[in-house]
Structure 1
């Protein structure tokens, strides 16, 4: 491990990007939005993984697989968000503590809940993220950054689809009898 320490860019700073023709003022707003989405996405990721690990019951297998795939999608989007923030001259948020502090969403508690309660909490979290993504798409468009708007829009489709699937799991129609 190197003993040399030189900071290349301070956390929280934004330089903008000459190559992308985005000045520091616009980049700062975009990176702030992307870091907010990054934080929210990691909160979602960890909550989905928690439910993936703890799901039980007659529909265990299907819900377990779904939650694992949904968590993978969240993790992939988090990577896209971080890479875009960096491309705009910013420093992506990192670390669980930073993510929770900067997220506009609240994760559920540490306890393990029944799967219906867990899924209701997931729908709530997805809904909050959907609203934030819509706001950030509009922000990116207004700031003249169609690339960021496009990336966020594509993910919004995935997030809405996942939320809709969770909503289906919560319906009262089931083949499982009590």
Structure 2
């Protein structure tokens, strides 16, 4: 046998082991699904290095896909809502300046923790948040204004509309992930819905002030 033949034979015996390692999950099992690129909501399922190592604990691939879609969307929405409150916090003018300038930051403090919590929940289930600015804009149901809005009533009315949509989204997503056998994420969403509903109520009450008309 020639030297080249021996080298070729050795390489061929090593190849299957390498392939086996590449397709193993972190618990030693075969992955339940293959990376399929942009069809999935989270970055963990893009066709990049080491994504074959992802597992989803007690969720099936289908269940994870359902839960991940809601987490990615709600994460992006929470970030956008934070930025929108900050934008209006900076731009507010007029007799309601001090009240709303301070109130917006108080509301932000209640919303802000959900950003990290939702991202880490996605990671805990074997996902990876898509967090580039373009991804946030694509997934979020809240749009951060590019124009300057100084009027108090215009700001508050816009935020009430957003919070109505976000609160309903959390309520609907709670049922969706519960049906996907993920009650832990459902509980998270129920808590966020309560927070969003409270902030919406407070802003709606401000609009009842006759001086704002």
Q: TM over 0.5, yes or no?
A: yes
Shift of 1:173: 3.8
Q: Which residue of 2 aligns with 1:69?
A: 106
Q: Name the structure with the higher helix share.
A: 2
Q: Which residue of 2 aligns with 1:165?
A: 202
Q: Does 1:105 align with 2:142?
A: yes
Q: Which residue of 2 aligns with 1:129?
A: 166
Contact 1:107 1:125 in 2 (8 A): no
Contact 2:44 2:126 in 1 (8 A): no
Give the SS at the match of 1:26: helix
In structure 1, stretches of 5+ residues that fail to align are 1-8
Q: Which residue of 2 aligns with 1:11?
A: 43
- CA distance change for structure 1 residues 173 and 111 in 2, over 3 Å: closer, same or farther? closer
TM-score by length of 2: 0.71
Shift of 1:33: 0.6
Distance 1:110 1:24 in 2: 41
Q: Does 1:149 align with 2:186?
A: yes
Distance 2:177 2:43 in 1: 22
Query: What is the aligned residue count?
Result: 166
The list of structure 1 runs, each at least 4 consecutive aligned residues, that deviate by more than 6 angstroms after superposition, is none
In structure 2, stretches of 5+ residues that fail to align are 1-34, 36-41, 46-50
Distance 1:169 1:73 in 2: 18
TM-score by length of 1: 0.84
Distance 1:124 1:39 in 2: 17
Describe the superposition over 1:79-107 as per-residue Cα deviations: whole angstroms up to 9, x where unpaired.
Answer: 11101111111111213221111113333
Relative to structure 2, which stretch is displaced further, 95-104 or 75-84? 95-104
Distance 1:169 1:109 in 2: 24
Q: Does 1:49 align with 2:81?
A: no
Q: Which residue of 1 aligns with 2:67?
A: 30
RMSD: 2.2
Distance 1:144 1:154 in 2: 18
Residue number among 77, 90, 94 corresponding to 2:131 in the alignment = 94
Distance 2:95 2:62 in 1: 53
